[in-house]
């Protein structure tokens, strides 16, 4: 996966590239969850070029209290061989400010262009929550199964890894779960680490 990010007013865009540089078409299946935008809904974006493996950071507005609420994040790693390795968020416990992070890597350059997106709303309305998952290690093409509490539905996912996602699929067992699998951009490695979280909505 090279990109997964929100598009204002219309949905979500995803981009993928062949890991073998084969120019032939390949089959993909994408999923989208749709909802009525909450008050103050807006998408912000930051563009930066960073060394491979480093991340770009972004926050919603903190000009007034309560701070804007970050609903979800998205990112794109740009370049012909670019792979997205981070599209994540975290909250500083001491300030309750939520930060987005995006990162990636290229095999044909030492730096990568990153477009990082965050969905911001006026304030937290209680309809969604983000549940952090622990870091885990997996073989290539395998990955974790993350889940919301049983009374909630999974509607999105964030991740940070030394690999790129090969699949990110909701509701593989129940309405609460989300399955991820990864493929390492370093061909000399046969395992990868991943952490992140799952975005959950009240049923």
**Could you tell me the strand order of the sheet in which 83-91 lies?**
55-59, 98-105, 83-91, 152-161, 191-202, 128-139
| Residues 39 and 121: beta-carbon distance below 8 Å | yes
Query: What are the φ/ψ torsions at residue 148 (nearest 5 degrees)?
Result: -80, 170
Specify the pLDDT at position 12: 93
**pLDDT digit string, tens, across residues 181-203:** 998 877 667 899 999 999 999 98
pLDDT score at 187: 64
On whether both 136 and 119 belong to a single domain, the answer is no
Looking at residue 156, which CATH number applies to its domain? 2.60.40
The residue assigned the tokens 């809904």 is: 41
Please compute the mean of the pLDDT values over residues 32-53 and round it to a whole number.
93
Q: Do 134 and 116 belong together in one domain? A: no
Q: Are 144 and 171 in a shared domain?
A: yes
Query: What band does 109 get if pLDDT is binned at 50, 70 and 90?
Result: very high
Q: Which domain holds residue 106?
A: 1-19+35-125
Indicate whether 161 pLDDT > 90: yes
pTM equals 0.93
Same-domain pairing of 120 and 137: no
Q: What is the CA radius of gyration of the chain?
A: 16
């Amino acid at each position: 996966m090279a990109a997964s990010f929100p598009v204002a007013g219309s949905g979500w865009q995803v981009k993928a590239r062949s890991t073998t540089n084969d120019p032939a078409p390949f089959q993909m299946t994408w999923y989208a969850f749709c909802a009525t935008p909450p008050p103050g809904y807006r998408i912000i974006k930051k563009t930066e070029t960073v060394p491979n493996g480093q991340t770009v950071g972004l926050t919603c507005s903190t000009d007034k209290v309560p701070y804007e609420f970050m609903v979800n994040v998205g990112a794109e790693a740009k370049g012909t061989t670019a792979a997205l390795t981070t599209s994540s968020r975290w909250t500083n416990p001491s300030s309750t400010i939520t930060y987005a992070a995006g990162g990636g890597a290229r095999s044909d350059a030492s730096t990568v262009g990153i477009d990082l997106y965050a969905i911001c709303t006026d304030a937290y309305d209680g309809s969604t929550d983000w549940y952090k998952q622990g870091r885990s290690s997996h073989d290539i093409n395998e990955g974790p199964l993350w889940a919301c509490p049983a009374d909630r539905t999974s509607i999105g996912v964030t991740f940070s890894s030394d690999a790129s996602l090969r699949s990110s699929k909701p509701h593989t067992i129940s309405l609460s779960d989300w399955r991820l699998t990864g493929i390492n951009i370093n061909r000399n490695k046969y395992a990868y680490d991943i952490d992140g979280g799952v975005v959950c909505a009240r049923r």
